[in-house]
Amino acid sequence: MQKIAIIGAGVTGLTLGRLLKDDFEVTLLEKETEVGGIARTRNINDCAYHIVGGHCLNSKNKTIMDFIFNEILPKDQWHHVQRNAKIFFNDHLISYPIEFAIKEIAQFDKLLAFNMTQDFLSSKEKPVRNLKDWFMQKFGATLAKEYFIPYNSKIWGMNPEDMDYVWVQDKLPIPNKADFFTALIDDNKDTMPHSTFYYPNSNNQNTFIEALGLGLNVVKNFTVSAIKKNKASWTINHSDEYDMVISTMPLNLTPFLLADTPQNILQHAKKLKFNKVSNMLWDTKPVDDTWRYYPSTDTIFHRHIHIGNFFKPVKTRTITESIGVHSYAEMVQAGRKFDYLLKPLDYNVSEHAYVVYDENHQHSSKAVKDYLNSINLHSVGRFGEWEYYNMDICMQSAMNLAKKIKSRQG
Ligand SMILES: Cc1cc2nc3c(=O)[nH]c(=O)nc-3n(C[C@H](O)[C@H](O)[C@H](O)COP(=O)(O)OP(=O)(O)OC[C@H]3O[C@@H](n4cnc5c(N)ncnc54)[C@H](O)[C@@H]3O)c2cc1C
């Protein structure tokens, strides 16, 4: 049997392992003491703390949902949660998505609601150069300037004018003019894709992650620090030999582990930008919504995930998320502004959390991926492909690669 090394036991690596293990001798090499990567949780006072940020599962992709429910964790072991997301906008709590909450905005600022409506309905398709243009074109100037541009400047840590817009089309619900009008005359009904999601009945996402990794050979606490390509095999960390290597580790680091990577590829790898995220888990007063967005620069938090409302029965727990590195003391201080955040319970600063789509993203990520392809090193997953993928897309990408590898073998 051919030997395959998979670097990283996050959602992508575990899915690949699962799909390849019957046909190959598969070893997953994971630097952490636990599997799950960005999606893993830590148990704090009997509560799943999503250390990189709150996660929920949903997908438009039926193949993925069928795979999860039929092969990983049966549907009856999940509960279905209605999204009830809010935005703290101009000192008022309004419904998400904002473009369906114009009626709510009119209750405290009629002129602003009128301008948002007028601009949305008169916006026209135009050539788009950057993310700012894209928001102006899709949502009209007022919604773009009042909400989308400030919120996105905050979560990306850069001006949307300096960002590419290629990622956003699949990420944001884009209403058409008829839907916008319907929301104006009806009550806001959040029926967009992802308006509901699944969470495991165990009230811990790790149940899903562990089910995904069932029966796999994972070597934990193993940091891959050197990858060498031989004539017909690969050597990892100067000792273990494999017939094939699949990497799910960040694309900006992989070229530096390989001997003989050309200088221009190393330069491209250095240009790949990403953001970290700082998180704090809190005990809270009861709240109704599933999460809240904070576009204003008045607070360092961009989102409060009321993770306790993902659970059945619900718990009073919230995760506050802030882009970049913030100290424990800074997060506690920022939490004092919110009367429902009672007591900090845990804190974490991530490594790679968000790919940044700046001007170099497309060109430099392509150059690195093309190079890795040319030496037959597969790089896959959110940071392996350097794309803004959710778990379902990572799983789809893993499925595509597993199919390709199996068909070559056959
Ligand atoms: C704040 C936040 C919220 C999110 N919310 C959602 C959500 O609600 N729903 C959803 O579907 N998706 C969500 N996502 C996206 C989701 O987390 C990712 O798509 C998915 O977890 C990525 O999996 P991956 O295996 O590709 O990468 P990773 O999880 O990054 O896995 C890579 C693995 O490689 C390991 N590794 C790295 N370097 C080495 C090395 N040198 N040697 C050995 N091992 C190494 C890492 O430790 C890690 O375990 C969210 C992401 C973030 C950041």
Over the Cα atoms of the chain, what is R_g? 22
- Atom 34, ligand 1: residue with shortest CA distance: 8
pLDDT at 125 over 90: no
Query: According to the model, what pLDDT value does residue 204 have?
Result: 97
Using the atom order of ligand 1, give the atom closest to the CA of residue 222.
43
Q: Across the chain, what does the average pLDDT equal? A: 95
pLDDT for residue 174: 77
Domain positions in the chain: 3-45+202-273+359-409, 85-193, 277-349
- 81 pLDDT exceeds 90? yes
Structure tokens at 90: 């101009």
Pocket, ligand 1, Cβ cutoff 6 A? 7-13, 29-32, 37-39, 52-53, 55-57, 223-224, 248-249, 277, 353-354, 381-384, 389-392, 394
High-pLDDT (> 70) share of the chain, %: 98
The tokens of 6 are what? 């998979």
- In the predicted structure, residue 347 carries a pLDDT above the cut 80: yes
Residue 222 has pLDDT above 90, yes or no: yes
**Phi/psi-derived region of residue 220, left when phi > 0, alpha when psi is between -120 and 50, beta in every other case:** beta
Q: Which atom of ligand 1 is nearest to the CA of 321?
A: 1
Closest atom, ligand 1, to C-alpha of 389: 19
- In sequence order, the β-bridge partners of residue 358 are 163
Quick count: other Cβ atoms within 10 Å of Cβ 169? Answer: 10
Work out the pLDDT band at 190, boundaries 50, 70, 90. low
For domain 85-193, the CATH architecture is Orthogonal Bundle (1.10)
Residue 275 has pLDDT above 90, yes or no: yes
**What pLDDT score does 170 carry?**
73
> Span 164-177, mean pLDDT?
81
Please tell me the distance from the alpha carbon of residue 202 to that of residue 219, in angstroms, as a whole number.
26
* Ligand 1 site-directed mutation target among 382, 386, 388, 389, most atoms within 8 Å of CB: 382
Count CB atoms within 10 A of the CB of residue 32.
Answer: 15
**Cis before 150 (ω within 30):** no
The set of residues, in sequence order, having a beta carbon less than 8 Å from that of 186 and lying 6+ positions away, is none
404: left (phi over 0), alpha (psi -120 to 50) or beta: alpha
Residue 162 has pLDDT above 90, yes or no: yes
Task: Please determine, for residue 10, whether its predicted confidence score (pLDDT) is greater than 90.
Answer: yes
What is the Å distance from ligand 1's center to 185 Cα?
A: 41
Q: What is the pLDDT at residue 191?
A: 63
> Does residue 195 carry a pLDDT above 90?
no
Ligand 1, atom 15: closest residue by C-alpha: 390
pLDDT of residue 410: 64
CA of 11 to the centre of ligand 1 (A): 7
The answer on pLDDT for 192 being more than 80 is no
Supply the pLDDT for residue 179. Answer: 87
DSSP 8-state symbol, 70: I
Q: Is-cis flag, bond preceding 97, omega within 30?
A: yes
Distance between CA atoms of 386 and 249, rounded to whole angstroms?
A: 10
Closest by alpha carbon to 8, among 406, 379, 400?
A: 379
Which of 57, 274, 309, 391 maximizes ligand 1 atoms within 8 Å of its Cβ, making it the mutation to test the pocket?
391
> Which two structure tokens, joined as six digits, stand for 308?
């306790």
Give the nearest ligand 1 atom to 12 CA: 25
Whether the Cβ atoms of residue 240 and residue 29 lie closer than 8 Å to each other:
no
Q: What is the pLDDT of residues 132-153, one digit of tens each?
A: 999 999 999 999 999 999 999 9
Joined together, the tokens standing for residue 22 give 């019957």
Atom of ligand 1 nearest to the CA of 225: 41
Q: What is the DSSP string of 298-359?
A: TSS-SEEE-GGGGSSS---EEEEEEES---HHHHHHHHTT-TTEEEEEEEEE-SS-EE--BT
Q: Give per-residue pLDDT as tens, 31-69.
A: 999 999 999 999 998 899 999 999 999 999 999 999 999
CA dist 37 → 296, 299, 380, 383 (Å): 30, 28, 14, 11
Alpha-helix residue ranges (DSSP H) falling in 21-170: 62-67, 102-106, 110-122, 131-139, 141-143, 149-156
Q: How far is CA 389 from the centre of its chain?
A: 6
pLDDT at 189 over 70: no
Residue type, 63: T
CA of 296 to the centre of ligand 1 (A): 27
- Between CA 3 and CA 30 the distance in angstroms is 17
Please write the tens of the pLDDT for every residue from 276-305.
999 999 999 999 999 999 999 999 999 999
Q: Which helix (H) or strand (E) holds 161?
A: none
- The model's pLDDT over 84-113, given as tens digits with 9 standing for 90+, comes to 999 999 999 999 999 999 999 999 999 999
Residue 323 forms beta bridges with which residues?
Answer: 277
pLDDT digits (tens, 9 = 90+) for 223-246: 999 999 999 999 999 999 999 999
Q: What six digits make up the tokens of 345?
A: 């319970």
Look at residue 188 in the predicted model and tell me its pLDDT.
62
Question: Token pair of 347, please?
Answer: 């804190």
Q: What letter would DSSP give residue 22?
A: T
The pLDDT value given to residue 167: 85
CA of 303 to the centre of ligand 1 (A): 19
Ligand 1 centroid–CA 125 distance in Å is 35
Closest C-alpha to ligand 1, atom 12: 390
Q: Please tell me the residue having the least CA distance from ligand 1 atom 2.
A: 53
Question: What pLDDT, on a 0 to 100 scale, did the predictor assign at position 124?
Answer: 86
Give the CATH fold of the 3-45+202-273+359-409 domain.
FAD/NAD(P)-binding domain (3.50.50)
Listed range (70-84, 165-179, 345-359) with the worst mean pLDDT: 165-179
Our mutation pick for probing the ligand 1 site, out of 221, 242, 248, 280, counting the most ligand atoms within 8 A of Cβ, is: 248
> Considering only CA atoms, which of 297, 305, 312, 300 is closest in space to residue 341?
305
**Ligand 1 mean position to 248 CA, how many Å?**
9
Cut 0.85: pTM above it: yes
